[in-house]
A and B are shown apart, each in its own frame.
Chain A
Amino acid sequence: MEVKSKPEVSSQPNKKQNSVERPDGRKADETRPIVAEVGIIPNADGSAKFAFGGTVAIAAVYGPKKMHPQHKQNPSKGVLRCDYSMMSFSVKDRIRPGPSRRSMEISKITEWALQPAIDLEAYPNMVVDVHINILQADASTRCAGINAAAMALAHAGIPMKDMVTSVSIGKLDKELVVDVNKAEEDWEEGEGATDIAMSFTSAGELTHMQLDGHITTEQLKEAVKLGQKAVKEIYEIQKQALKTGKKIETGGKKK
């Protein structure tokens, strides 16, 4: 879950100074094993699955279709509508199903992250529905959701200027790491954890960024650079999944 506990300034002496060891032994710029696949939902016009280790997201795209309710129609261009939700069994404590403050925020954020890349000029009065479900959550769910949604949109044949790829950059104590998991999100040593979710087009343009915690301007710039580097790898996986229509897996054993 991405709802953060306040970073605590720990009074305990720092065991590992400057370099933090990640709980699952990854390198700082290493993502969790990724799984990507398109066409997993035969009923949908386009669909995709994307997983970062223990975080698994599926996305289904329907449309462009007629917008209902009618007063939400836009006569100049089509509308993108995202719906993010976590399955009640996606985490250990059951999540109450249905919209919550958090899921509504992430739905909106996903819309904004994808909006610059898609082109719905040709579909006035219509809507493209994107349904994102988190089957399993181990932090960075919105990033996995955006990655799955971008693949599903492409798979559905929606005109797109570019793909969108998302990754979360974390700051554990003072160190920047790629693709935060739950254990790292709850990091409490030193300066605590900062979680920055960001999305890029394949051209490297930023479409979305959210920051949770404390960070200096210099380090934020560094984080964006690190994110740009990390999404290149993830983009290749999305690309392969779309091109081959097969399940693409990276890394070793899935955690």
Chain B
Amino acid sequence: MTEERKNKDDGQATGSPTSSKQSNDSSTREIVIPGEVIGEGDLLPGEGTEKRDGKIVAVRYGLKESDSKLIKVIPLSGVYQPRRGNIVIGKVEMLTFNGWVIDIGIGENAFLSVAEVPRYVNKNDLGEVMDLGDMAVAKIWGINARGIDLSLKSRGLGKIEEGMIVEINPSKVPRVIGKEGSMISMIKEETDCQITVGHNGFVWIKGDEIENELLAKKAIEFIARKSFVSGLTDEVKKFFEEEKK
């Protein structure tokens, strides 16, 4: 076998240059592939896993994470899976007589009803509020057989008037937000921008200066690229120091 086989135990994915750091936690954050047996015996199968003949088998490609009892696979890739309460950013695709059909980047379209918009809407001219191609920040308030229902009844939701939209892989959203929002608040601080991260992978950046917006965009793309690196917050700090020189 070639040298690559020896790197097996690093268990790290594409383009992570700091494998030395990760050797400590590789036991808990190993990359697993579908069909691989990842646990046996008295364990509970979590997300991305399945129990087959008493063995826990991964059904997705991702990082294995195990608590004392629960074992699950955190996906490294894949499309957005809508959940109730998620904040999403989407584009108006169609106007109907009582609301808007919004494309949130998945197969199903999401529906935003007029009743869920907290302002006066002239029913004869919905385009006045939001027209085709407009983008909006919305919340998922229900998922049923017919599709997804959106709402604007919350703070920070509504039509996007200015700024820029960056698209990242939805599986990287948790890294961009960070633990209790630590990462995103750092970017906000460093760039002086307002940033809204949609769970469906769209990020809305609004700043006073275009340079600041571009820097925020660069930072988000940097995080998306380096999402496997542990100690990412420090890396991003370094990134900003270098950018600001």
Contact = CB atoms under 8 A, between A and B. Distances in A.
Contacts of B79: 45, 63-65, 123, 157
Interface string A234-255: 0000111011111111100000
Nearest to A243: B31
A122 B4 contact: no
B71 to A, nearest CB: 16
Interface in A39-74: 39, 45-46, 63-67
Give the interface centre of B32, B33, B62 by most chain A CB atoms within 10 Å. B33
A119 B60 CA distance: 10
B133 interface: no
A200 to B, nearest CB: 11
Contact of A163 (B13, B34, B48, B107): B34
Contacts of A159: 34, 48, 59-60
Give the interface centre of B4, B13, B75, B78 by most chain A CB atoms within 10 Å. B4
Contacts of A64: 79, 106-107
A125 B107 contact: yes
Interface string B1-25: 1101101101111111000000000
A228 interface: no
A66 B106 CA distance: 7
Nearest to A128: B79
Nearest to A246: B4
Interface in B101-147: 106-108
Given A65-B107, A243-B33, A248-B2, A154 B8 contact: no
A88 interface: no
Contacts of B11: 243-244
B108 A160 contact: no
Given A63-B79, A157-B78, A244 B107 contact: no
Contact of B61 (A117, A122, A157): A157
B31 A250 contact: no
Contacts of B7: 244, 246
A160 B31 contact: no
B214 interface: no
A161 B8 contact: no
Nearest to A75: B145
A32 interface: no
B131 to A, nearest CB: 22
B81 interface: yes
A125 B77 CA distance: 20
Contacts of B4: 240, 244, 246-249
Contact of B62 (A157, A240, A247): A157
A157 B60 contact: yes
Contacts of A203: 35
A64 B77 CA distance: 12
Interface residues of A, number: 41
Contact of B5 (A45, A154, A163, A248): A248
A242 B61 contact: yes
Contacts of A38: 14
Given A244-B7, A244-B8, A248-B5, A161 B14 contact: no
B107 A67 contact: yes
A43 to B, nearest CB: 12
A42 to B, nearest CB: 10
B12 A160 contact: no
A171 interface: no
Interface in A71-127: 117, 119, 122-126
Given A39-B14, A248-B5, A163 B35 contact: yes
Contacts of A249: 2, 4
B61 A154 contact: yes
Contact of B34 (A122, A125, A162, A240): A162
A80 to B, nearest CB: 14
Interface in A194-209: 201-203
9 contacts: A65-B106, A67-B107, A155-B61, A157-B75, A157-B79, A159-B59, A242-B31, A245-B15, A246-B4
Interface of A: 38-39, 45-46, 63-67, 117, 119, 122-126, 154-163, 201-203, 238-240, 242-250
Interface of B: 1-2, 4-5, 7-8, 10-16, 30-36, 48, 50, 59-62, 75-79, 81, 106-108, 171
